[in-house]
Amino acid sequence: MESVSSAELTYYRLAPTVQARLLGTSVVGLALLVFAGTAVVIAARIDFAWLFVPLVVGIAAVIGFGWWLRNKAYVLRASAQGYKVAFVRGAGVREARWADIQEAVTTMPAGTPCLELRLKKGGATTIPVTILAVDREQFVRDLQVHLKATIKPLDTTAGPGEAS
């Protein structure tokens, strides 16, 4: 399980496959940086040793980004009071208190299994469970602990167009 707990906070990290995809994109960015640096060195007719500057800076940036993805980046941060979502485009409401949640249901928008937290005052937070580095069932159990005081139990039965 890749949820990390510190005091009252629980962090649900990115799945390793998502981390690898993002890190791969940064390596492609490094290659483009070196390519651009090479073009500048050739066009300016300066010593090729200057290519080491963008190369070293780029490698350090990729290593730092990889460390940050592995150790600091999170999809969901849950506390006793509420939650905050990061790294999810189209998540909707990115943070709310547990008391503001009306219901929690599982959905399948665009064929991706998601947990949707619907808020009492309108709006919702959608969390794709495939990008979490935690077992789906464990994630549901963890959220049930937070939600048990504010709403009915998490609906894990799949209806038409929904999945558990």
Domain range list for the chain: 3-71, 81-147
This prediction has a pTM of 0.73
pLDDT tens figures, 113-153: 888 999 999 999 999 999 999 988 888 888 888 887 666 55
pLDDT tens figures, 61-100: 999 999 999 999 999 999 888 999 998 888 889 999 998 9
Rounded-to-integer distance, Cα 76 and Cα 135, Å: 14
Find all residues with CB under 8 Å of 159, minimum gap 6, and list them: none
Residue 5 above 60 pLDDT?
A: no
Q: Give the residue among 104, 105, 145 at the shortest CA–CA distance from 3.
A: 145
pLDDT tens figures, 11-59: 999 999 999 999 999 999 999 988 998 898 899 999 888 888 888 989 9
